[in-house]
Amino acid sequence: MTSRRTLLKGTLFGSAAALLPRAAASASDGGSVPRLPPPAGPYPVGVQTVHLTDPSRTDPWIGGVRELMLTVLYPARSVHGFGRALQLTPVEAGEFADLAPHVHPGLPQPGTVDWGAVLTHGHVGAPPLPGRRPVLVYSPGGGDSRTLGTTLAEDLASHGRVVVLVDHPGDASQVELPTGLRKTVLSGPPDPATFRTMVDTRIADLLLVLDKLGDLPLARFTDSRRIGLYGHSAGGTAAVYGARDDRRVGAVANMEGYLDLYPTPAGGLDQPLLLFRTDGFDGAARIDSSWAGLPGRRVLLPDANHWAFTDYGSLVPRLQSSGLVTATARTALVGPGDPVVTLTAVRRRVGAFFARHLG
C-alpha cells in the first residue's frame, strides 16, 4: 500500500456559496425540480465540503496528484439562519443533465429536469451538536457521484452520526474540484481491469479519509473508536476490502457490491458485516456466488432494484409521476415497490446495523 501523506485543502470548497442555492437561473435547465425526502431523525443536519489531496499518490486516470471531494454531514445544534445545500453545484448540475440518460438509460433527457435546483436537507456551515459521535464513511456506486448518497446519509446524521460522503474522481460521473470539473472516464460497464483499478483506487481513497479524520473540520466531534464503512455497488466492494486489513473500522455495510475481486479471510471479516441486496438486481447470481460462505447479516430488499439504495430510489418514482420516466425504466433502476416503504427499510436496516455495532 502506498504512503498516504496528505494535504487538507479548504474546509469549505470555494466558500459556503458553492453549496447554497445561489443563481438558480444559471444552474437551471428548466423543467421539473425533484425533491429529496427529509431525514427522519431528531436532529437537524449540518453540512460542509472538504477537498483532500494526496501528494504521495498518482491519480490512476489522469496522472498528477490524487484529489478527493468530501461532503461531511452531522447533527447540528441549530440551523437557524443557515441555508440548505444544493445537491449539485451549478457546474455539476449542467454536466449531470447531459450525462444522466447515458449513465442510467431511462433517465430524462437534458432540459426536462432542473437538477441544479434540487435541495438537500443539510444546512451549510450550521454549528455541530456537542458530543463525540460515530463516524460513517460512504463510497458510492461505480459511475455515481457522492451526492447520490445524500438521502441515506442525512438520515444517519439526523440520528446522531457524522457521515462522510466520498467522491472518487475519474469514475464518478462528475465532481467539481477546486482545480476544475472532473468527468467520468467510463463509457459503459467497466471491464475486469478497469473494475480492479476502480476498486483499488477507492480502497486507497477510503484509507486516506480514515487517516485524515483527525484533521477534518469536525474532528473534535468524532469518536475515532467508532468508525463504520458503507458503500453501494462498487462502493460496497471497496468498503469491505478496505476494512479487511484495517482495525480502525468497527463495522461494514455492503449494499449489493460484488466480493469476488480478492480472497476474503478464512471465516470472513473480523468486523460485523451487513450484506444488503435487492430482489430485482440482474447481477444476483454473481452476488450470491461472491457472498457465499461469508458470515454476516443478510437482508433482502423486496420489490426493489440496484439503485434503490441511492437517491434514485426517491427521485425516479417522482419523475415517473411527472411523466418523465417510464414504468419500465423505473423498474429497471429502482424496482416497482412503494418508494416510501423501500426508503424506510433501507434507513432502518442500515441505521440499526450501525447502532448495534457502533452505538
What would the grid cell of residue 159 be? 440520528
Q: Give the C-alpha separation, 166 to 206, whole Å.
A: 8
Average pLDDT over residues 42-62: 96
| pLDDT at res. 182 | 96
Q: How does the average pLDDT of the chain come out, rounded?
A: 91
Q: Which residues pair with 273 in a beta bridge?
A: 252
Q: Give the C-alpha separation, 156 to 238, whole Å.
A: 20
Which uninterrupted H or E stretch holds 225?
A: strand 222-232
Main-chain dihedrals φ then ψ at residue 329, nearest 5 degrees? -65, -40
| pLDDT at res. 188 | 81
| pLDDT at res. 7 | 42
Q: Which of 5-14, 127-136, 177-186, 322-331 has the lowest mean pLDDT?
A: 5-14
- SS3 state at 315: helix
Q: Pairing between strand 174-177 and 162-166?
A: unpaired
Q: Residue 46: what residue type?
A: G
Average pLDDT over residues 274-297: 95
| pLDDT at res. 355 | 98
Is 71 a residue whose pLDDT tops 80?
Answer: yes
| pLDDT at res. 232 | 98
Task: Tell me which residue has cell 431528531.
Answer: 42
Is 14 a residue whose pLDDT tops 50?
Answer: no
| pLDDT at res. 31 | 72
Is 200 a residue whose pLDDT tops 50?
Answer: yes
Average pLDDT over residues 108-132: 96
Q: Which of 22-26, 84-88, 314-318, 336-340 has the lowest mean pLDDT?
A: 22-26
Is 209 a residue whose pLDDT tops 90?
Answer: yes
Is 290 a residue whose pLDDT tops 90?
Answer: yes
CA dihedral defined by 255, 200, 88, 315, rounded to 10 degrees?
Answer: -20
pLDDT digits (tens, 9 = 90+) for 243-268: 997 999 999 999 999 999 988 766 67
Q: Which of 18-22, 29-33, 212-216, 343-347 has the lowest mean pLDDT?
A: 18-22
Q: Give the C-alpha separation, 162 to 133, whole Å.
A: 6
Q: Which of 10-19, 131-140, 172-181, 341-350 has the lowest mean pLDDT?
A: 10-19
| pLDDT at res. 266 | 62
Residue 29 CB contacts under 8 Å (≥ 6 apart), including other chains: 93, 94, 97, 110, 111, 112, 113, 114, 115, 116
| pLDDT at res. 264 | 73
User: For residues 78 and 30, is the Cβ–Cβ distance under 8 A?
Assistant: no
Q: Give the C-alpha separation, 307 to 223, whole Å.
A: 30
Average pLDDT over residues 102-127: 95
| pLDDT at res. 359 | 87
| pLDDT at res. 16 | 39
Which uninterrupted H or E stretch holds 3?
A: none
| CA dihedral over 322, 327, 328, 333, signed as positive or negative | positive
Average pLDDT over residues 56-69: 96
pLDDT digits (tens, 9 = 90+) for 171-199: 999 999 999 999 999 888 889 999 999 99
Count of residues in the chain: 359
